Amino acid sequence: MIYSFPPFVNAKTEILILGTMPGIASLEKQEYYAHPRNHFWKIIYTLFDELPVATVFEEKIKVLQENKIGIWDVLENCERKGSLDIHIKNHKPNDFESLLKQFPNIKKFYSTEKKAIVISLKISDK
C-alpha cells in the first residue's frame, strides 16, 4: 500500500491541480512531481515567468500558493506496482468533501492525468 501526500492548499487557494498518486521518485523524495523527466514544475514556472525552477520543494509550493493554486491527489492510498496509473488497484479516494468545506475558495479543478479525471468523476457522482 502506498500513500499520497497531504494537500498543499491555503485559505487563498482558488484552483486545485489534481494528480492520481505520486510516482516512485516522488514518494522517495516526498515531493510532488520529483522525477527529473517530469515537466510539471517547468510548465508552472514558465506560466508565471519564474524561471529557473527552484530546487527546493517548499519554494515550488510557494510559487503555486502565490498564484492561488493548490495541489493534491485524488487518491489517499492504493496498491500499485511501479509508477503507472494503469497498475492502480484497491484505491481509496481522498476526502474532498472535508477539504472543500475547510477551503471554500477552491472553485476550479484541473488534472494532470487521465486516471485522476476518471476517479474524480466517479467520486463526484456519489
Question: Is residue 38 among the annotated active site residues?
Answer: yes
pLDDT of residue 112: 78
- Considering the candidates 10, 38, 67, 90, report the single residue annotated as catalytic: 38
- Rounded alpha-carbon distances, angstroms, from residue 81 to 5, 33, 68, 87, 89: 18, 18, 34, 6, 9
pLDDT, tens digit, for every residue of 89-123? 999 999 999 999 999 999 988 887 765 555 454 54
Which residues of the chain have a pLDDT value below 70?
Answer: 114-126
Q: Report the distance separating Cα 4 and Cα 32, nearest Å.
A: 9
Grid cell of 115 as nine digits = 486516471
pLDDT of residue 50: 87
CATH tag, 2-124: 3.40.470.10
pLDDT of residue 84: 84
Q: What is the pTM of this model?
A: 0.85
51 near 109, Cβ under 8 Å?
no
